[in-house]
Amino acid sequence: MKMRMFAFVLLAAVMVWGCSNDDPALQGVAFKMKATTTSSAINPGGRVMNSAYTFTKALVGVSEVEFENDDDDDSGDDDDLEIEFEGRYVVDLIAGTSSPEFGISNIDPGLYNEVEIELGNFLEGGNSMFVSFTYQPDAGEPIQVEFSTKAKLEIEIEYSNGFTMQPDVLSNVLVLLDLDTLLASVDLSQANVDEDGVIRINETSNTNLAQLIVSNFDDACDTGYDDDDDDEFDDD
């Protein structure tokens, strides 16, 4: 009887501890990146859809994510509020997953109005980003396209409303990368096609298009809350 009573008390204590407000799973900031499009298709299965572009793979190597508050204040303190995720995160933008997972970062309560994302070139081939898709020209069969870059890019995304972080709340922050915006003004009809029928856009092939895509990076990214975890920004 004494052993049963001890086991019951121990179980109750564990349950109370697990539901405590001090549980790190219930507070902090969780971070996620995902691809979106405005007019094209995203199809992990790789089947050609009725669209100018059908994206089949989109990967980025993220080395750091930093939330900042750059508003000037009269405190004289030059140390801005910061939240950081640091590591070697391989992010599958189509699936909305990362390896390893970003997890949850501890926070200092306050207002954060900017997200900075640094890309590292630790993907396959020394790339920091790789995007594969099919391009349907006005006439003829679809053409496979591969964009890659080895550049260690830094993306700065301002959030006009600001993220208000509280010490006892878990905030889910989502960054959406619009793949159509990434390809804005990119004319693939003028691109060189390799002997195997693939258009490769990188530092050595179709370099003018590669530079244009890289320059579109900041405009292609947007951020906001996603507390209902539906991969869309919350209405409020």
3-state SS, 87-140, equals EEEEEECCCCEEECCCCEECCCCEEEEEEEEEECCCCHHHCCEEEEEEECCCCC
Mean pLDDT value across the chain: 83
Rg (CA), the chain: 22
Asked if residue 210 lies in contact with residue 202, where contact means CB atoms within 8 angstroms, the answer is yes
Tell me the one-letter amino acid at 212.
L
**β 143-149/198-201 pair status:** parallel
d(Cα 62, Cα 60) in Å, to the nearest integer? 6
Q: Whole-model pTM? A: 0.82
Kindly tell me if the per-residue pLDDT of 144 is higher than 60: yes
**β 129-135/143-149 pair status:** antiparallel
List the single range of 5-19, 82-96, 128-142, 169-183 with lowest mean pLDDT.
5-19
Q: Give pLDDT tens digits for 151-169.
A: 999 999 988 888 888 878 8
Calculate ∠ Cα 178-179-182, nearest 5°.
95
- Determine the average pLDDT of the residues in 196-219: 96
Asked if residue 89 lies in contact with residue 11, where contact means CB atoms within 8 angstroms, the answer is no
Verify cis geometry, omega within 30 degrees of 0, for the bond prior to 100: yes
